[in-house]
């Protein structure tokens, strides 16, 4: 696996991901997706939606607003508990997450535990720390023309609450059989103390979440089923090696306040093992709190048994940027070129995720007859597959290297033999082998 610097360099050089506000010197914790990054990200999100929503009969999609009634975050507990341990160096006034400065610490770290480890400031090297305090990560804003406490609102820190506030609407409108799920994709905002590791931890992210509503007596069976389906999605839809994914049963002291069981899917990123996504059993925490805050019943009546209860919830939750980085890291390869004393960089992306499926080229761009035929093949493939690119810059070897780096599975070259027999050269990204075939047979 490549180091993180190599991936960051490729992403900027080839137009996947740029530093946010780069022309102004950047803005910490923000990243802009370029043309290829947008296509990769969209393919990942579309594949997720197809797998979990479109192919199933038991999961419904919603798209809730980013700014919600502030009572949402009172009911969910975010106003009180959505916080990270902040510590400040008194020497250089740098601010950091205390639990990320030393191994073995978690979000419940105390001043005494921190002092005992003799942690030095990563900026100035001093050991002059102030007390740890909890820092709420929600972005605060104001709605309307008046800026006071009555107009205060927040950018949502998660997409999950947009699902929970629509639970009753879905039940009333569709009355689905239980178990059933509600899915949402969308932006979430977290005022991270110390964003780091490229797009792994940033202040604006895209989440894909499902809240799966179950009979409380059946939660364990449904949890295990979702665990298996998540592994299947990551391996067979995202192309990730399961050898690089570890299921971590999260201890009670480290779980979110709403969870009675959480399994974190840990991935071997270039910078070490980090959380890719989580599967959490949220019990009836959210619906009960909404019921209490709103005064409206969240009970569900089973149409088959007549039993009435507030459903419990299992949540598969994944950050798109973390998944993009995992896909890039797993696909990134540096390989020797046969017969040459050099290597090539190649992104072995799954074909369903690759920004382009084909690249079409004339062997020589100064031969009108080759260019005309290549454009004909390009238009045919573009109409058929949409995700097709054109490249006539440099020699054919340089074009192959470029397409390898951006993950294009097949390069189609129109040469003089094409004008004779109608066949084209098809070069495979992963093996670099070439075959001849008629373009309509692709």
How far is the C-alpha of 248 from the C-alpha of 238, rounded, in Å? 20
Angle of CA points 137, 138, 141, to nearest 5°: 140
Spell out the residues 6+ positions from residue 150 whose beta carbon is closer than 8 angstroms to its own.
none
Classify 161 as helix, strand or coil.
Answer: helix
Positive or negative, the CA dihedral 402, 406, 409, 413 is: negative
pLDDT score for 281: 97
Q: Which fold has domain 4-61+147-328?
A: BirA Bifunctional Protein; domain 2 (3.30.930)
Assigned token pair, 154: 């927040």
Strands, DSSP E only, in 232-377? 245-249, 261-269, 272-283, 300-301, 308-309, 312-319, 332-336, 343-347, 358-362
Residue 63's CB is within 10 A of a number of other CB atoms, namely 11
The domain locations on the chain are 4-61+147-328, 356-441
Classify 246 as helix, strand or coil.
Answer: strand
Q: Is 373 left (phi over 0), alpha (psi -120 to 50) or beta?
A: alpha
How far is CA 141 from its chain centroid? 26
| Beta carbons of 353 and 327 less than 8 angstroms apart | yes
φ, ψ at 161 (rounded to 5°) = -70, -25
| Beta carbons of 124 and 91 less than 8 angstroms apart | yes
* DSSP symbol at 106: -
309 to each of 287, 299, 303, 314, how far by Cα in Å?
Answer: 11, 5, 12, 16
φ, ψ at 373 (rounded to 5°) = -65, -40
How far is the C-alpha of 278 from the C-alpha of 255, rounded, in Å? 11
Spell out the residues 6+ positions from residue 232 whose beta carbon is closer than 8 angstroms to its own.
none
Per-residue pLDDT of the chain (442 residues; tens, 9 = 90+): 579 999 999 999 999 999 999 999 999 899 999 999 999 999 999 999 999 999 999 999 999 999 999 999 989 988 877 778 999 999 998 989 899 898 888 888 899 999 999 999 999 999 999 999 988 888 989 999 988 888 889 999 999 999 999 999 999 999 999 999 999 999 999 988 878 889 998 999 999 999 999 999 999 999 999 999 999 999 999 999 999 999 999 998 878 777 889 999 999 999 999 999 999 999 999 999 999 999 999 999 998 899 999 999 999 999 999 999 999 999 999 998 877 888 899 999 999 999 999 999 999 999 999 999 999 999 999 999 999 999 999 999 999 999 999 999 999 999 999 999 999 999 999 999 999 999 888 8
Assigned token pair, 80: 């009180």
Angle separating helix axes 4-14 and 396-406, nearest 10 degrees: 120
| Beta carbons of 332 and 239 less than 8 angstroms apart | no
Strands, DSSP E only, in 115-177? 133-136, 139-142, 152-155
Positive or negative, the CA dihedral 263, 201, 99, 189 is: negative
Residue 329's CB is within 10 A of a number of other CB atoms, namely 22
| Beta carbons of 166 and 180 less than 8 angstroms apart | no
Element (H or E) spanning 397, and its range? helix 396-406
pLDDT score for 195: 83
How far is the C-alpha of 284 from the C-alpha of 287, rounded, in Å? 6
Q: Which of 289, 287, 283, 284 is nearest to 74 (CA)?
A: 289
Q: Which fold has domain 356-441?
A: Rossmann fold (3.40.50)
| Beta carbons of 111 and 99 less than 8 angstroms apart | no
Length of the chain: 442
pLDDT score for 390: 97
């Amino acid at each position: 696996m490549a180091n993180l610097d190599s991936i960051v360099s490729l992403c900027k050089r080839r137009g996947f991901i740029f530093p946010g506000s780069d022309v102004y010197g950047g803005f910490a914790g923000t990243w802009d997706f370029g043309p290829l990054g947008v296509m990769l990200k969209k393919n990942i999100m579309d594949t997720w939606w197809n797998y979990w929503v479109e192919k199933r009969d038991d999961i419904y999609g919603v798209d809730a607003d980013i700014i919600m009634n502030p009572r949402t975050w009172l009911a969910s507990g975010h106003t009180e508990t959505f916080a990270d341990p902040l510590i400040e160096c008194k020497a250089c006034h740098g601010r950091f997450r205390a639990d990320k400065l030393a191994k073995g610490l978690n979000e419940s770290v105390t001043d005494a535990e921190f002092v005992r480890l003799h942690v030095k400031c990563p900026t100035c090297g001093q050991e002059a720390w102030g007390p740890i305090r909890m820092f709420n990560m929600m972005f605060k804003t104001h709605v309307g023309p008046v800026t006071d406490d009555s107009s205060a609102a927040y950018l949502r820190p998660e997409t999950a609450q947009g699902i929970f506030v629509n639970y009753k609407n879905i039940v009333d409108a569709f009355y689905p059989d239980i178990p059933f799920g509600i899915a949402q994709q969308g932006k979430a905002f977290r005022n991270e103390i110390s964003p780091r590791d490229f797009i792994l931890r940033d202040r604006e992210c895209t989440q894909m979440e499902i809240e799966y509503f179950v009979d409380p007596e059946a939660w364990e069976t449904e949890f295990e089923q979702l665990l298996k389906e998540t592994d299947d999605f990551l391996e067979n839809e995202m192309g990730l090696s399961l050898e690089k994914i570890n299921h971590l049963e999260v201890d009670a002291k480290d779980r979110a306040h709403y969870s009675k069981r959480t399994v974190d899917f840990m991935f071997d990123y270039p910078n070490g093992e980090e959380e890719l996504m989580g599967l959490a059993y949220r019990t009836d925490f959210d619906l009960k709190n909404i019921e209490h805050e709103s005064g409206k019943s969240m009970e569900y009546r089973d149409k088959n048994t007549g039993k009435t209860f507030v459903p419990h919830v299992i949540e598969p939750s994944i950050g798109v940027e973390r998944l993009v980085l995992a896909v890039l890291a797993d696909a990134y390869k540096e390989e020797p070129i046969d017969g040459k004393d050099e290597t090539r960089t190649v992104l072995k992306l799954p074909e369903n995720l690759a920004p382009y499926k084909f690249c079409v080229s004339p062997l020589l761009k100064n031969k009108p007859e080759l260019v005309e035929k290549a454009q004909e093949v390009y238009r045919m493939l573009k109409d058929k597959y949409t995700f097709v690119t054109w490249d006539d810059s440099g020699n054919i070897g340089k074009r192959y290297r470029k397409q390898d780096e951006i993950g294009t599975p097949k390069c189609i070259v129109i040469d003089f033999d094409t004008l004779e027999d109608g066949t084209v050269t098809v070069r495979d990204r992963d093996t670099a082998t070439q075959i001849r075939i008629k373009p309509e047979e692709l």
